[in-house]
Structure 1
Amino acid sequence: MDVRWLQDFLAVAETGNFTRAAERRNSSQAAFSRRIQSLEQWLGVALIDRSVFPTRLTAEGEQFRQHAGEILRQLLDARMEVAGKAATGREPVRIGLPYVLATAGLPRWWTGWAEDPRLTGSIVLGNIHDLVTDLSAGNLDLLICYHSDQQPILPDPKRFERTVVETDTLRPYASRTLGASLPGTAGRPLPLLMYSAGVYFARLVDLILDTAGEPVAGTRVLESDMADVLRDMALAGHGLAWLPDRTVAAGADPAGLVPAGGAAWTLPLTVVAFRDRTNRRRAVARLWARLVAQGA
C-alpha cells in the first residue's frame, strides 16, 4: 500500500475527472492512472466506473471512500504528531486559508491562539474548491474561509461541523481621488477591478450585481484572483473594487479608500471554520474551542 494511492483516489472521487485530479496531484495522467489501478488490484475490486462520463465511483468505491479518508487522516496525524512534537515539543495543526484571510485575518487571530504554548500551525493557502478538497481528503485539520448563505460552501454536514468565527461585509471601494460612485453613468463609465472567473468572490459580486436593481455603467479594466491586488489597485486610483472591510482595514492606507455605493451594492459575509467530526487530535480540539469562543 502506498499512501499516494489513497490521495489519488480521493482526488478523483472529489473531482470526478482523471485529468483534473492528476493536475491537482502534480502528476502525469499515465502515472496517476497506474496508481489508481494499483490500488484497485490491492483491494481486489474496481473503484472507478470508467464506462460513464463524468467519472464516478462504483458502489465499492463509494464504500471505500469514507475508509480512505479516515485512514489517510490517521496516518498524517500520526506522522505530524510524532515528527512535529519530537522536533518542537508542540502540536502542529494544519489550517487551510484563502489568501485574503491569511493576510487580513491570521495575524490578528494568532495573537489569541498563541496563548496556547503547545500550538504550532502549518498554513495551507488555496482557493475554496481546492481547500475543501484537501479537507475532505484529510490533508487539513481545519478550514477557515469566507461564506455567504446565498453562495454556501457545503462540506458534508454529517462529517464536518461548522462554527462562525466573525462577520464582515463585502462592499465596493474606490480611492478618494477617483471619486467613483455606483452605478456610474453612460457618459462616464466606471473603471471596474474585478475578480477572475471561478473565484468565490467573483460569484458573490455577480450576485450583488444581479440583485442591485439597476445596471452598472462600467468597464472591466483588470481581473485578479486576489483581493489584496484589487485593493492596492483601487488605492492607486485605477478603479472600483468589491472588497471585504477587513481587507481594506489591513491595507497600507485604509483611509485612502472609501465606500463607493450604498446598501444595495453590499453583501454581508461570515468567516466560518470547518473540521472533521472524527478528528480527535487534542491540539485541534483546543484550537476549535478557541474558534467557537471567538465567534461567540
Structure 2
Amino acid sequence: MEAKWLEDFLSLAETRSFSRAAHDRHLTQSALSRRIAALETWLGAKLIDRTVSPVRLTSTGVMFRGQAAEILRGIYAARTLAHAHELVADGVQVVRLSVVHTLLFTFLPQRLRKLRDELGHIKAKVQAVNIPDGVQALVEGDTDLFLAYHHPQLPILLDANRFPFLTLGTDKLIPVSATDANGSAVYRLSGESQEPIPFMAYAPGTFLGNVVEMLILNSVETCGLRRTFEAHMSEAVKAMVVAGNGLGWLPASCIARELQEKSVAIAGADSWATDLEIRIYRSAENQSTAAEELWSWMKKHASGGASPTSRPER
C-alpha cells in the first residue's frame, strides 16, 4: 500500500468525481482509477460505488475514509519528525507544538503561514494529540506549547502559575446533518421526530464527546438520539454526517465549507450549540529561546485573553 493511494482515495471521496479528483491529483483519469483499484485490492474491499453518477463511497468506503486520513497523519507526522531532526542539525530553532486533531486542520495552518512569514528562523515540529496526551506532554516537558479547545464547564486542569495560557480565538460546537433536495437538514433536533435520530457520536471520555453529553444532559428538550456510530476524532464524525448517516456535533470551523456549499445544515436551535475557546499553553519552567520567542509572537496575535501569570514579552 502506498501513501499516494490514500491521498487519491481522499480526493475522490471529497469530489465524488474521477475527472475532478484526477485533475486535482495531476493524474489521468485512467491512472487514478488504477490506483483506486489497487487500494481496493490491497484492502480486499470495495470503497467506491462506480454504478452511480456522481460516484459515492460504499459503506466500507465511508468507514475507511476517517482511517485513511488518520494513517496519512501518522505518515506526515513521521516525515515532520525526520525533517525536524535535519533542521536541528542545520542550526534552525525548532519548537515542539502539540495540537488537538481538529485544530491541526482548521486553525493551525494559517497561523503557521504567518509564523513562517514573520519568524522564518523558527520551525514548528507539530504532533497531533488528544487533550489528555497533550496535557501529559506539557507536564512532562515533552512539548513546548499545547494548543487545545477549552470550555468553562469542562476546564483543562492545569495550574495557571506553572502553565500559563493565551486565548487565540473561538470556535463553536454545533449540531449538523446532511441536507435533502430542498437544502434542509435531513435530521433535526426539533422534538417532533417519531423515529430515533441516528447519532454520530464521539467516543466516551473524549473532550468533544464530554461537551456534547453536557449539552444533552443540560437541555430541557428531548432529542431522541440513538447512538449508531462513535469515533475519537471529529474528522470521522464529519465523514459520517456528510455521507448522510445521521446527526452529529462538529466545530463550526471543521464544517464551514460544507455549510457554505449547503451539503450540510445546522440541525438544531442555538441552545444545542456552545462556544469553545482556543487556548495555547506553555510551561513557565520552559527556558527554550525559540519557545519564548514564539510565545511572544503568539501573544501579539492573541484575541485578548490570557492567564494572570502569562509571562510579559521580553
Structure 1: distance between partners of 2:108 and 2:297: 14
Structure 1 residue 88, shift from structure 2 partner:
3.0
- Provide structure 2 residue ranges, at least 5 long, that are not aligned to the other structure: 1-84, 304-314
- Contact (CA 8 Å) 1:119, 1:283: kept in 2 or not? yes
Say yes or no: does 1:196 pair with 2:198: no
Matches within 5 A, 1:160-171: 160-171=163-174
Say yes or no: does 1:122 pair with 2:95: no
Amino acid at match of 1:234: V
Secondary structure of 2:229's counterpart equals strand
The answer for the alignment partner of 2:97 in structure 1 is: 95
Structure 2: distance between partners of 1:216 and 1:261: 10
Quick one: structure 1 residues 229 and 141, their matched pair in 2 at CA, closer, same or farther if it must change by over 3 Å? Answer: same
Secondary structure of 1:229's counterpart equals helix
Moved over 3 A (4+): 83-86, 183-186, 250-255
Amino acid at match of 1:263: D
Structure 1: distance between partners of 2:127 and 2:286: 18
Secondary structure of 1:153's counterpart equals coil
Q: TM-score, normalised by structure 1?
A: 0.68
Say yes or no: does 1:141 pair with 2:144: yes
Q: Any idea what the Cα deviations from partners look like across 1:122-152, whole Å, max 9, x if unmatched?
A: 1122211111011000001000001101100
Structure 1 residue 294, shift from structure 2 partner:
2.2
Structure 2: distance between partners of 1:85 and 1:187: 59
The answer for the alignment partner of 1:108 in structure 2 is: 110
1:287 to 294, 297, 304: 294
Structure 2: distance between partners of 1:155 and 1:294: 23
Quick one: structure 1 residues 139 and 247, their matched pair in 2 at CA, closer, same or farther if it must change by over 3 Å? Answer: same
The answer for the alignment partner of 2:282 in structure 1 is: 275
Aligned residues: 215
Worse-matched range after superposition: 139-148 or 89-98: 89-98
The answer for the alignment partner of 2:247 in structure 1 is: 240
Amino acid at match of 1:280: Q
Q: TM-score, normalised by structure 2?
A: 0.64
- Contact (CA 8 Å) 2:175, 2:273: kept in 1 or not? yes
Say yes or no: does 1:260 pair with 2:267: yes
Q: Any idea what the Cα deviations from partners look like across 1:47-105, whole Å, max 9, x if unmatched?
A: xxxxxxxxxxxxxxxxxxxxxxxxxxxxxxxxxxxx66652331111101111111112
Structure 2: distance between partners of 1:259 and 1:294: 30
